[in-house]
Amino acid sequence: MSAGFYRAFEDRYRGSRELIKQRLRAYEPFFAPLRTLQDPPAALDLGCGRGEWLELLGEQGFRAHGVDLDDGMLAACRERGLDVELGDAIACLRALPDNSLAVVSAFHLVEHIPFELLQTLVAETRRVLLPGGLLIMETPNPENLVVGASSFYLDPTHLRPIPPQLLAFVTEFGGFSRHKVVRLQEEAGLRGDTPIALINVLDGVSPDYAVVAQKDGAAAVLAPFETAFDAGYGLALGQLAQRFEQRLVDRDDALRAALAQLEQHTIDSKLRLAGAESGLEGLTRQGQTNAARSEELAHALAALDGRMHAAEQALQQAEQARQQAAQQVAALLASSSWRITAPWRMVGGWVLQVRARARLRTRARTALLTVARALMRRPRIRRLLRPLLRVPGVMQIYQASIAASQAMPPQAPAPLGDMSPRALRAYRDLQSALKKTRKH
C-alpha cells in the first residue's frame, strides 16, 4: 500500500477528530472507575491511528501510550505530542510485564488480523492487565446488514467481519471473568419506540460494536464497574426486526379493525338503504293515492266550477228578471191609469176591511152558535144555562142569530154587463188587488 494512502482513506471515511472523540466518550462509564486501580492508570492503545483515544485518555488523567504500523497515522499523533511508537501490536504486548496496565484498547484492529493473532492478543492482554483491568476491542458490526454486506469491504485492509457473539466468546475463552457487548453509533432517532421502516432494519442496527472484557479481581475492585456492565447499549438486529414486525402486526390489526368497522358500516348502510327503500315504496304508494285523490279533487273542482258558473248565470238571469220587474213596477206606478185608479184602490181597501170584519163576525157567530148548540144538546149543561137565557136580550139575540143565518139568501154579484168600460176596468183592478192581498 502506498505511503499516506491509509491516512487519507481514514480522513475521508472515518470522520473528523472531533466526531471520533465524541463517539469515544461512550466508554466513559467503563474507564472512569479505572482510576481506582492505578495512579495514574496506565493505558496501551493498539493500532492507535490518529490518536483520538490517546488524546481523550490524557484529558482524563491517564498515562496513555500508542502503537501503530502506519507511520503516516503516527504523524498526526506526534503533531499533538502524544506518546506513540511505530511497531507491531503483539510484539508490544509481549514486551510488557505482567499486571502492569489498567486498560488495553484496540479500535478497529481485530478485523485486520488473522483469527490466531486475535486469540494471542486476547491472551497477552489478560497477562499484562491489573486485576480488574479492561480490554476494549471495537470493530464494524456485521449485524448491520448494510455494514456486513457492503461497507465493511470498503476498507481494503479488512479481512473478515467478526460477529459480536464470536468476539465475546474469544474473551471468555481467553480467561476474562466477564464481558459486555457495547453497540455504538446508531441513529438517536431509532432508540425510542417510534415506528420503523424496512430500511431501518437493514441499516439501522448499530454500525459498530465493542466487546469490553474485564480481568478477574477482588469484589471491591470489580464493584465500581457494575453499573457499566449492567447497562444496555445500542440497537441489535433482533430488536429492530421485532419492532418492525410489531409495526406490521399493529398495522394488520388496525387494518382488520378498519375493515370490520367498514363491514359494519356497510351492513348499517344496507339496513338504512332497505329502510329508505321501504319508506320510498310507502311514499310512492302514498304519492299514487295522493295523485288519485288529486285527480278526484280536480274533477270535483271542475264540476263545482261548472255549478258555480251555472249559478252565476242563473243569478245573472234572476238579476235581469228582477231589474225588468222593477222597471215594470216603476212604469206601472208612473202610469196615468195607476194614478186614476188610486181612489178605486182606496175604496177597494175599505171594502176589503169591511168584508174582513164581516167575515170575522160571521165566523164568531157561527162558532158561538156551534158551541151553544153543542151545549144545549147536553141536558146537564142546558139545565145550568137556563138561568142565563132568562137574562133580558140573551134569548132574543140567540134566536135572532139563528133565524138570520137560516133566512139570509146568498148575495148575487152585480152583473158585469151593466158597468161602463171604465168601471169594468176599475173593478177588474180591484179584483186583482184583492187576490194579491189574499195570497199575502
Higher pLDDT, 138 or 15: 138
Interatomic CA distance for residues 411 and 381, integer angstroms: 37
Question: In the predicted model, what is the mean pLDDT of residues 341-362?
Answer: 64
Q: What angle do CA 402, 407, 408 make, to 5 degrees?
A: 105
What sign for the dihedral angle of Cα 171, 176, 181, 182? negative
12 φψ region: left (φ > 0), alpha (ψ -120 to 50), beta (else): alpha
Interatomic CA distance for residues 32 and 67, integer angstroms: 23
| pLDDT > 90 fraction of the chain, expressed in percent and rounded | 52
**Ordered strands of the 63-68 beta sheet:** 84-86, 63-68, 42-46, 101-107, 129-140, 208-214, 178-184
Rg (CA), the chain: 73
* From the candidate CATH numbers 3.40.50.150, 3.10.20.30, 3.60.150.10, 1.10.645.10, the one assigned to the domain spanning 5-235: 3.40.50.150
Residue 180, phi then psi, degrees to nearest 5: -140, 130
Question: In the predicted model, what is the mean pLDDT of residues 256-278?
Answer: 92
Residue 180 · residue 212 · CB < 8 Å: yes
Higher pLDDT, 365 or 217: 217
User: How far is it between the farthest Cα atoms of the chain?
Assistant: 196
Find the range with the poorest average confidence among 25-29, 243-247, 356-360: 356-360
pLDDT at 397: 56
pLDDT at 341: 63
Mean confidence (pLDDT) of the chain: 85
Is the pLDDT at 370 greater than 90? The verdict is no
End-to-end CA distance of the chain: 155
pLDDT at 421: 74
Interatomic CA distance for residues 38 and 371, integer angstroms: 170
Interatomic CA distance for residues 415 and 39, integer angstroms: 183
pLDDT at 332: 66
Q: What is the domain partition of the chain in residue ranges?
A: 5-235, 244-309, 337-407+418-439
Give pTM, 2 decimals.
0.61
pLDDT at 362: 67
How far are the Cα atoms of 33, 131, 177, 216, 223 from residue 220, in angstroms, in the given order?
12, 11, 15, 11, 5
pLDDT at 345: 65
List pLDDT tens digits, range 204-222: 999 999 999 999 999 999 9
Question: In the predicted model, what is the mean pLDDT of residues 25-37?
Answer: 94
DSSP string, 107-164: ET-GGGS-HHHHHHHHHHHHHHEEEEEEEEEEEE-TTSHHHHHTGGGGSTT------H
Structure confidence at residue 11 as a pLDDT band (50, 70, 90)? confident
List pLDDT tens digits, range 43-84: 999 999 999 999 999 999 999 999 999 998 899 999 999 999
Run of H or E including 65: strand 63-68
105 φψ region: left (φ > 0), alpha (ψ -120 to 50), beta (else): beta
DSSP label of 382: H
pLDDT at 10: 74
Question: In the predicted model, what is the mean pLDDT of residues 254-279?
Answer: 92
Task: Name 103's bridge partners.
Answer: 43, 134
DSSP-derived pairing of the beta strands 178-184 and 84-86 = unpaired
Find the range with the poorest average confidence among 53-57, 197-201, 414-418: 414-418
Higher pLDDT, 210 or 250: 210
